[in-house]
Amino acid sequence: MQLTPKVKEILSWYESDNPGTKANLARILMEGKLGGTGRMVILPVDQGFEHGPARSFAPNPAAYDPRYHFELAIEAGLNAYAAPLGMIEAGAASFAGAIPTILKVNSSNSLSTTKDQAVTGSVSDALRLGCSAIGFTIYPSSEYQFEMMEELRELAEEAKAAGLAVVVWSYPRGPMLDKTAETALDICAYAAHMAALIGAHIIKVKPPTSAISLDAAKKTYEKHPVEVNDPAKRIAHVVQACFGGRRLVVFSGGEAKDEGGIFEEVRAIHAGGGNGSIIGRNTFQRPRDKALKLLSDIVAIYQG
């Protein structure tokens, strides 16, 4: 596999990492239709934990089968497939080496009343299953945010020592944030920056809205304005918060929406310098042929 100049440049950003971790980052960056471009589309299927099986898979019953998601990601030419332990175990042998996998090692569920996640996988699980990376969610602003960050630090240290990459879902939520604040521009940029500070190789956040939430931040943005009404400029600001663009940042697909809304977000991510999309429900809840067409169109936008 001949690395492209763009991928070599990205790998140079991670100056402290060993050859194993850089090789696994390269596996993700060089895979699929966007291989070598520095852009990524990743399929995440952790929604069964987060929302329950029927809410996740009833719209497309074929998706109850974990093998379906391996096949979808491979056929669509995506960069990687991310899922909790059981989902990856269910197809690990059949699809070994077919696509880079990311083991999501913590999870929440809709029966919980707390903004926290349980550790449900390990670095040794990721190595046993041939994964390229571990994935971990933190909830900045949660009552349990510091415990989550400490768990991530320990797991990230172990993963990096074993030559794995680290993907961090950074989703602000907690008692001081309402729904508007969770995706406000200043909060999304703050959450992305925290993930970079904790040592993430790939950072996942939600696309930011034009809202500015924190009073102290409002004063700063008044002195140093960002074009909050331009979606691409908002994306660029989040990328800037990730060490001036020297960390990979991808944006979630979020709740179910029509194709026009999806493409509008993807175009903004592309124009703003984001590294791609990590999109789940908006793909696997559609029939397979429609999901493949949607993913093909998303890839085409990132191809420019």
How many CB atoms sit inside 10 A of residue 148's CB? 21
CB 165 within 8 A of CB 28: yes
- DSSP bridge pairs for 42: 80, 278
Sequence letter at residue 285:
Q
CB 70 within 8 A of CB 99: yes
Calpha distance 254→303 (Å, rounded): 22
The active-site residue out of 8, 204, 223, 257 is: 204
Sequence letter at residue 182:
E
Place of tokens 């030419």: 77
Calpha distance 230→212 (Å, rounded): 14
Calpha distance 103→108 (Å, rounded): 15
Sign (positive/negative) of CA torsion 87, 109, 187, 15?
A: negative
Place of tokens 């918060």: 241
* 3-state secondary structure at position 92: coil
- Is 204 a residue of the active site? yes
Q: Both ends of the chain: CA-CA distance in Å?
A: 23
Residues serving a catalytic function are 204
